[in-house]
């Protein structure tokens, strides 16, 4: 029976790169996302290598998530790795200027969606037991605050603490949990955050060397395929050219 990896948000960025990485290693794929045409294209690309099961899915919808997992075909139920990748950032402006709906969208996707999928898939992971893995995509924003981070950073702090608490609850089951926290990475992330502002995205990455989606996919694969007695609790990854800044000081003119 093939190992199966279940990836949310597989239509772009880290999720799509992770699907390709696991496919290269012979894992069967369960891929979900909201854009069916992209899932179909990815399935068509990878189906010659490994079995692929896709489904258009909004992780915010608990009942839809539960049904999708319940309906997994028999060959895709041996889930050895869950990659909770679906998430987004919106409104990179001061909190006092944010539309409340953007906050709700981030909470519903980054927090509610994460727990919906984890709760639904966990029984399958527990059946595998030793060597099974949950990899949650956090962010350096969950550890290090910055202007405009507001609810996004707070939601990724939830991812970190939820991952740690899962580790405690799953002690003795053999199921591992990792919070992977990327720094600056060039994907569609900034385009989504700025609602399609290509100039803003280009400006962020201009003149430096950010991480790539493939860089993060390689680390996801690494932590999910370590010997079964090894658990990476949290892996924070920045490009070499990114570091922390001094404290901001408000001074009199």
Q: What pLDDT score does 200 carry?
A: 77
Q: What pLDDT score does 95 carry?
A: 96
Segments of the chain scoring below 50 in pLDDT: none
Map residue 124 onto helix, strand or coil: helix
- Alpha-carbon span 33 to 57, nearest angstrom: 5
DSSP one-letter code for 48: T
pLDDT tens for 184-196 read: 998 877 777 777 7
3-class secondary structure per residue, 140-153: HHHCCCCCCCHHHH
What phi, psi does 176 have (nearest 5°)? -100, 155
Q: What pLDDT score does 189 carry?
A: 72
DSSP one-letter code for 113: I
- Alpha-carbon span 53 to 51, nearest angstrom: 7
- C-alpha to C-alpha distances, 43 to 25, 28, 49, 72, nearest whole angstrom: 16, 11, 10, 16
DSSP string, 90-110: ---S-GGG--HHHHHHHIIII
Q: Does residue 205 have an active-site annotation? A: no
Q: What pLDDT score does 1 carry?
A: 64
- Residue 38: how many CA atoms within 13 Å on its side-chain side? 17
Closest CA to 236 of 151, 160, 175, 166: 160
- For the chain, what are the domain ranges? 4-237
DSSP one-letter code for 30: E
Please give the structure tokens belonging to residue 146.
Answer: 């910055």
- Alpha-carbon span 15 to 19, nearest angstrom: 6
Question: Looking at domain 4-237, does it have CATH number 3.40.50.720?
Answer: yes
Closest CA to 137 of 184, 178, 176: 178
Closest CA to 55 of 79, 66, 214, 20: 66
pLDDT tens for 211-247 read: 999 999 999 999 999 999 999 999 999 999 999 998 9
Catalytic residue among 152, 205, 221, 222: 152
């Amino acid at each position: 029976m093939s190992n199966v990896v279940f990836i949310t948000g597989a239509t772009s960025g880290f999720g799509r790169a992770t699907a390709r990485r696991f496919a290269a290693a012979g894992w069967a794929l369960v891929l979900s996302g909201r854009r069916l045409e992209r899932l179909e294209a990815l399935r068509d690309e990878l189906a010659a290598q490994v079995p692929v099961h896709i489904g258009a899915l909004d992780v915010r919808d608990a009942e839809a998530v539960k049904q999708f997992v319940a309906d997994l075909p028999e060959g895709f139920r041996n889930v050895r790795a869950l990659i909770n990748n679906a998430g987004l950032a919106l409104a990179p402006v001061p909190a006092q200027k944010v539309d409340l709906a953007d906050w709700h969208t981030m909470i519903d996707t980054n927090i509610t969606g994460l727990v919906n999928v984890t709760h639904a898939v966990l029984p399958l992971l527990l059946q595998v037991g030793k060597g099974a893995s949950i990899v949650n995509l956090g962010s350096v924003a969950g550890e290090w605050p910055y202007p405009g981070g507001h609810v996004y950073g707070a939601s990724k702090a939830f991812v970190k603490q939820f991952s740690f608490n899962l580790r405690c609850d799953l002690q003795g089951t053999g199921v591992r949990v990792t919070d992977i926290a990327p720094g600056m990475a060039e994907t569609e992330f900034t385009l989504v955050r700025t609602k399609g502002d290509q100039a803003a995205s280009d400006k962020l990455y201009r003149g430096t060397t950010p991480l790539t989606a493939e860089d993060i996919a390689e680390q996801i694969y690494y932590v999910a395929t370590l010997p079964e007695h090894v658990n990476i609790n949290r892996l924070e990854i920045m490009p070499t050219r990114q570091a922390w800044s001094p404290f901001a000081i408000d001074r009199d003119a």
